[in-house]
Chain A
Amino acid sequence: MDQLLQHFANTIIMGGTYALLGIGLTLIFGIMRIVNFTHGELYAFGAYMMYFFATIIGMNFFVAIAFAIAAGMLLGMLLEFSLLRPKRGADIDTTMLIMIGAWIIMQNLEHLTWGGIAKSIPSPLPETPLVIGPISISWLRLMVLVIALLLIAATYSVINLTKLGKAMRATFQDSSTAALMGINVNAIYTLTFGFGSALAAAAGALLGPVFVVTPTMGDLASLKAFAIVILGGLGNITGAAIGGFILALAEEIGAGYISSGYRDAMGFVIIIIVLLFRPTGLFARAERVG
Chain B
Amino acid sequence: MNRYFPLVALVFFAAVPLWLQDQYYLHTLVVAGIFMLAAMSLNLLLGYTGQLSLGHVAFFGIGAYVSALTSLGFDVTVFGRQISVEPWPPFLGLLLGMATAGLCGYLIGKLAFRVRGAYFVIVTISFAEVVRLVALNWVDLTNGPLALPGIPPLTLGFEWTGYVTLWGKAENYYVVLVFIALAYLLMKRLVQSPYGRAMIALRENETLAVSVGVSVTKYLVLAAVVSGAVAGLAGGLYAHYIQIIDPMIFMFLNTVTMVIIVITGGKGTLAGPVVGGLIFGLAPVFLRNYVGPEVQWILYGCLMILIVFILPQGIVPEIERWFNRAKPDRRNDAAGQEGSSVLALARSGRANH
Residues of A that sit less than 8 Å from B by CB? 29, 33, 35, 83, 86-87, 92-94, 96-98, 100-105, 107-109, 111-112, 219, 223, 226-227, 230, 259, 261-262, 264-265, 267-269, 271-272, 275-276, 279
Task: Report if B88 contacts A (CB, 8 A).
Answer: no
Given contacts A97-B263, A97-B304, A98-B305, contact A272 B126 (CB under 8 A): yes
Q: Quote the shortest CB–CB distance from A253 to chain B (angstroms).
A: 16
Given that A86-B309, A97-B308, A100-B259 are contacting pairs, would A108 and B122 also be in contact in the complex, using a CB cutoff of 8 Å?
no
**Contact: A35 with B121, CB < 8 Å?**
yes
Taking CB atoms, residues of chain B closer than 8 Å to A96 are 52, 118, 121
Cβ of B26 within 8 Å of any chain A Cβ, yes or no, is no
The one of B118, B294, B302, B312 in contact with A29, judged by C-beta atoms closer than 8 angstroms, is B118
Which of B52, B122, B295 is most buried by chain A, counting CB atoms within 10 A of its CB? B122
CB-nearest residue of chain A relative to B252? A219
Interface size on B, residues (CB 8 A): 38
Q: How far is the CB of A111 from chain B (nearest CB, A)?
A: 5
Name the A residues within 8 Å of B137 (CB-CB): 259, 261-262
- Across the interface, which residues of A come within 8 angstroms of B252, CB to CB? 219
**Which of B93-101, B128-136, B276-284, B330-338 lies at the binding interface?**
B128-136
The smallest beta-carbon distance between B255 and chain A, in angstroms, is: 9
Whether B117 sits at the interface, judged by CB under 8 Å, is: yes
Residues of B within 8 A of A219 (CB): 252
Asked whether B256 lies within 8 Å of A100 as measured between CB atoms, the reply is yes
Q: Is the CB of B294 within 8 A of A108?
A: yes
A110 to B136, CA, bound (A): 26
Q: Is the contact region of chain A dominated by helix, strand, or loop, or is it mixed?
A: helix
Residue of B nearest to A272 (CB): B126
A117 to chain B, nearest CB (A): 14
Nearest chain-A residue to B126 (Cβ)? A268
Contact between chains at A105 and B298 (CB < 8 Å): yes
- Nearest-Cβ distance from residue B79 to partner chain A, whole angstroms: 15
Whether B126 lies near A97 (C-beta < 8 A) is no
Check B305–A108 contact: CB distance below 8 A: no
Query: Pick the contact of B301 from A102, A259, A268 — CB < 8 Å?
Result: A102
How far does the alpha carbon of A92 sit from the alpha carbon of B51 in the complex, in Å? 11
B177 to chain A, nearest CB (A): 30
- Selected contact of B298 from candidates A86, A108, A265, A271, CB within 8 Å: A108
A94-B308 CB under 8 A given contacts A105-B302, A275-B115: yes
Q: Is the CB of A104 within 8 A of B295?
A: no
Contact B308 A98, beta carbon cutoff 8 Å: yes
The CA-CA distance from A224 to B60 in the complex, in Å, is 23
23 sample A-B contacts, Cβ–Cβ < 8 Å, listed by A number = A93-B52, A94-B308, A96-B52, A100-B304, A101-B303, A104-B256, A104-B300, A104-B301, A105-B298, A108-B301, A219-B252, A223-B125, A223-B126, A223-B129, A226-B125, A227-B126, A265-B130, A267-B126, A268-B129, A269-B126, A272-B123, A275-B123, A276-B111
